[in-house]
Structure 1
Amino acid sequence: MKLEYFLDHMPEEIQRQTTHKIYLPGETIVRKGEEVKHVYLLQKGETRVSNEFASGQRYTFASLGSSDLIGDLEVLAGQKLYSASNEAVTTTEAIVMRAETFLQWMQIDNDFALAVAQQLAAKMYPTSNEAGRIKFLPSLHRLHSYLLKRLGDIETDLFILHTSRQQIADDIGTSVKTVNRGVIKLKEAGFISLLHGKITLDKNQQQMLKETFSEE
């Protein structure tokens, strides 16, 4: 459902109970383990959804954007704590409402309740599918798959990955140390090169990576 629908159909009694907030890149909107007090309706920007573990590792498993909701899953599941952290990737604007206000809106607006249910289903299916698949992949295979995904259909003589090792580790659910070991192995095997610490692939390496480590 488009953002315009939510805004145009928001009852006045609900609108009076909401506020508008802006989050700068890198700013945390909600943190895993914090008490669930609010639901956020994103208007603009992009956020990163991640899980942090006792080992200190962080796994980024989804991104959210305009018209997406944060906190809806926890509120509807009756959970008291946020299940994942959500951080602004770009400047992000959101309409913020108390959990009670969100539930009130769903109770008085059947169309809104249906839209939330449909959005939850669309959001959770690919997330759970990918998270379950990647959990059992060896860390080196995860790195192979990640590089293939980032390379995509790009056609260039020299592909340069500007993503930091920490971000790569977050994205594939492992540690920086493990990523570094994988990078060294791929470099020694001739599949990648390094330029000022950045992973690079020339045309031959791109083809080698695609032929040898194609995704399932």
Structure 2
Amino acid sequence: MTVEDLEKEIPGLIEYTETMPEEIRKKAFVKVCPPGKLIHQKDCELQFFGIVAKGENRVINEFENGKIYMIETNRAIDFIGEVTILAEMPRTSVTIEAVTECTVIYISRKDAETWIRNDQHILRLMARRTAFKLYRSSYNNGLKLYYPPTFLLADYLVRAYEGSLSEQTDAVFPENGAFILQKIRERLSEELGMNIKTLDRTIRSMQKNGYFNLTKGKISFGYEEYIKMKEFITTAKG
């Protein structure tokens, strides 16, 4: 697969690749990363800059004791390595893992720096994307420190429900119209910044209070429960 093939398949990608110099385009290569594959490893020398054309990835921070803190999830179209390049640092600061199958266009760091230095269009796109992530992080900063686990889980479920509605993901909404969260407990624990015991206790408590049901161990709920969680969040905030 080539960059041109991806541009035909994903027209929105052209905004990101239209000003790529021809000599760099010829050397670019496309790689498909399966779910769970590490796209970007913390503390490694950045050798390639990437443009994620398809798929969803998660940004995590790994610590020496084996603990993982999930910073955010990002969906295409996205960049890989842009923060390291803009900061002019040699090594990466985070690990990026494919959540779904990700298709990434790779170019060497040297070529990327040349392109960015000479092209304000790609620089503006990178700056906009970086600023969006910073804005999102700043907006939610402190949430996990000052709200109880029930609030954090309700807030997560409401956002997941709304996101799935906007995407109209049929796989998430079976025939009975219930939303089913397709996440294992370990992944949910990482994303919420909550240990497994606390998460299990929170799930049991919220299930008992009628916020959702468990379907084969997975959280499921409908529109009425969604509204109930929205009201709970509003009350908790104010």
Q: Which residue of 1 aligns with 2:51?
A: 41
- Classify the secondary structure of the residue corresponding to 1:69: strand
Q: Aligned letter for 2:180?
A: I
1:109 & 1:63 partners in 2: Cα distance?
A: 24
2:123 — aligned with what? 113
User: Does residue 59 in structure 1 map to residue 70 in structure 2?
Assistant: yes
The corresponding residue for 1:201 is: 221
Q: Which runs of 5+ in 2 are unaligned?
A: 1-11, 166-172
Compared CA separation, residues 99 and 197, structure 1 to 2 (3 A): same
Deviation at 1:38, TM superposition (A): 1.7
Q: 1 CA distance for matches of 2:221 and 2:120? A: 52
Q: Is the Cα–Cα contact under 8 Å of residues 169 and 175 in structure 1 kept in the other structure?
A: yes
Q: CA deviation at 1:30?
A: 0.6
Q: Deviations over 1:144-195 (max 9, x none)?
A: 2112223339696644333221221122122222211211222333433333
* TM-score, normalisation: structure 1: 0.82
Q: Matches of 2:211 and 2:72 in 1, distance apart?
A: 26
Question: Which whole-Å CA distance do the structure 2 matches of 1:18 and 1:164 have between them?
Answer: 36
Label 1:206 to 1:125 Cα distance change in 2 as closer, same or farther (>3 A). closer
**1:181 aligns with one of 194, 201, 207:** 201
In 2, distance between residues paired with 1:57 and 1:201? 28
Q: 1:128 to 1:82 in 2, by over 3 A?
A: farther
Q: What secondary structure sits across from 2:152 in the alignment?
A: helix
Aligned CA distance change for structure 1 residues 22 and 194 (closer, same or farther; 3 Å): closer
**CA-atom RMSD in angstroms:** 2.8
Q: Which residue of 1 aligns with 2:101?
A: 91
Distance 1:157 1:72, change over 3 A: closer
Aligned to 1:149: 159
1:119–1:145 Cα change, 3 Å: closer
Which residues of structure 1 form unaligned runs of 5+?
none
Residue number in structure 1 paired with 2:211: 191
CA distance in 1, matches of 2:222, 2:82: 44
Distance 1:176 1:80, change over 3 A: farther
1:158 and 1:80, CA in 2 relative to 1: closer, same or farther beyond 3 A? same
Quick one: percent identity of the two aligned structures?
27
Count of aligned pairs between the two proteins: 214
